């Protein structure tokens, strides 16, 4: 009997790459739930070109619990796990529209975890974020680093999500086995060039805007602040290839399958363990792709932290994961995808 994995937000950036890894490297079938609020249906066609396997696509807003249960009920006896990506994810937008972020991100999580309990789906992976570490003062951060006050509503929804799941494992019946994977800064695209990052709005990430500036789709790339206490004054981030992140979900799912039937919750950092400044990323992009990127320094952006990168030892110990792609690989694959799509 072929088993299904539910992937929420499957047409999105990390979701689509995770579908590719699951279909190429496991025997699971995929049920993708997405309302395409910030993604495109053609992603599924590209995934078929890549994997030669069809997925079940459900067009649904996860905040509608009744429809969610109705759509999943025909498959529920064959579902082995859930990977929950679907969420609003722009830090600047969350500062502007906090209530929208709290409503969407928390309600959708509550509904999908209630689905897991109702249909006895024991294995659950939550898409968390390094934003839970807030304006941390020292790096690398480990999973045991105390979480400070979040500096954006988006980050707060991820902290709340982890807390809800941690509490539920002590209370839910049947038992739940849960990993919360804290992503650092996903960039790059699948080496095939068939899937990549293409949100409908809120292109606030550094690399998409580097590509847009290189293609003259925007007049200039804005660099938010050069007065941070870093080597060149610009913020430091841990950039990680999206396919490395996607494969970690396959390994985490396999690990959950091997665990006993008792409840379980743990968090894992997914980062390279290396930090690069914004200007270093721009210069690397220019060198690797032989193209100039026009940029200008502007004021700091509310919600940004100065520097953060991961200690990823636990990922190797717990699920046998380590990143394979370099920063150059990330920026080369991002350009391959972006110059065709943007």
In DSSP notation, 57-101 reads EEE--TT-HHHHHHHHGGGGGGEEEEEE--S---HHHHHH-HHHH
User: Bridge partners of 7?
Assistant: 32, 83
Q: For 108-117, 191-200, 232-241, 248-257, which range has the lowest pLDDT when averaged over its residues?
A: 191-200
What is the three-class DSSP state of 269? strand
pLDDT at 135: 86
Question: pLDDT (tens digit, 9 = 90+) per residue, 160-205?
Answer: 999 999 999 888 788 899 999 999 999 999 999 999 998 887 677 8
The per-residue pLDDT for 324 is: 97
The lowest-confidence range among 72-81, 193-202, 236-245, 316-325 is 193-202
Provide the pLDDT for residue 53.
Answer: 97
| Cα separation, 255 vs 243, whole angstroms | 19
Q: What is the pLDDT of residue 177?
A: 96
Q: How confident is the model at residue 299 (pLDDT cuts 50, 70, 90)?
A: very high
Q: Which of 13, 28, 154, 325 is catalytic?
A: 154
- Decide if pLDDT at 242 tops 90: yes
Residues in CB range of 45: below 8 A, 6 or more apart? none
Residue 136 has pLDDT above 90, yes or no: no
Q: How far apart are the first and last CA of the chain?
A: 41
Q: Is 154 a known active-site residue?
A: yes
CB-facing half-sphere around the CA of 92: CA atoms within 13 A = 9
C-alpha distances in angstroms, 107 versus 6, 64, 96, 99, 214? 17, 9, 19, 12, 38
Whose tokens are 């390994």? That residue is 251
> Is the dihedral angle over the CA atoms 36, 39, 43, 47 positive or is it negative?
negative
In the predicted model, what is the mean pLDDT of residues 123-131?
96
Average pLDDT in the chain? 95
Residue 170: the pLDDT is: 85
Domains of the chain: 4-188+239-271+312-324 (3.40.50.720)
The secondary structure of 291-306 as a DSSP string is ----EEEE---TT--S
What pLDDT, on a 0 to 100 scale, did the predictor assign at position 341?
Answer: 84
């Amino acid at each position: 009997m072929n088993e299904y994995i539910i992937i929420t937000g499957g047409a999105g950036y990390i979701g689509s790459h995770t579908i590719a890894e699951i279909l190429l490297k496991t025997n699971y079938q995929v049920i993708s739930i997405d309302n395409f609020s910030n993604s495109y249906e053609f992603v599924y066609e590209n995934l078929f070109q890549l994997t030669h396997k069809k997925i079940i696509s459900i067009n649904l807003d996860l905040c509608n619990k009744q429809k969610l249960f109705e759509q999943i009920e025909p498959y529920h006896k064959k579902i082995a796990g859930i990977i929950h990506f679907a969420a609003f994810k722009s830090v600047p937008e969350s500062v502007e529209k906090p209530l929208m972020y709290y409503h969407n991100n928390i309600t959708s999580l509550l509904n999908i975890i209630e689905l897991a309990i109702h249909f006895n789906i024991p294995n659950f992976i939550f898409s968390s974020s390094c934003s839970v570490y807030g304006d941390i003062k020292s790096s690398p951060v480990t999973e045991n680093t105390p979480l400070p006050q979040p500096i954006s509503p988006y980050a707060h929804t991820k902290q709340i999500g982890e807390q809800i799941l941690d509490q539920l494992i002590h209370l839910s019946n049947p038992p739940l086995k849960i990993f919360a994977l804290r992503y650092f800064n996903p960039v790059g695209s699948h080496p095939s060039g068939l899937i990549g990052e293409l949100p409908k709005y809120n292109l606030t990430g550094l690399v998409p805007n580097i590509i847009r500036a290189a293609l003259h789709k925007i007049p200039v790339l804005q660099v938010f602040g050069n007065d941070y206490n870093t080597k060149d004054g610009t913020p430091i981030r841990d950039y990680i290839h999206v396919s490395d992140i996607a494969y970690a979900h396959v390994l985490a799912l396999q690990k959950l399958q091997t665990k006993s039937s008792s409840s379980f919750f743990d968090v894992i950092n997914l980062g390279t363990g290396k930090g690069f400044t914004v200007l270093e990323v721009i210069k690397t992009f220019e060198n690797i792709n032989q193209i100039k990127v026009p940029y200008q320094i502007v004021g700091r952006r509310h919600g940004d932290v100065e520097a953060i990168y991961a200690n990823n030892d636990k990922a190797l110990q717990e699920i046998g994961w380590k990143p394979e792609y370099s920063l150059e690989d990330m920026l080369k694959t991002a350009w391959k995808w972006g110059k065709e799509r943007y």
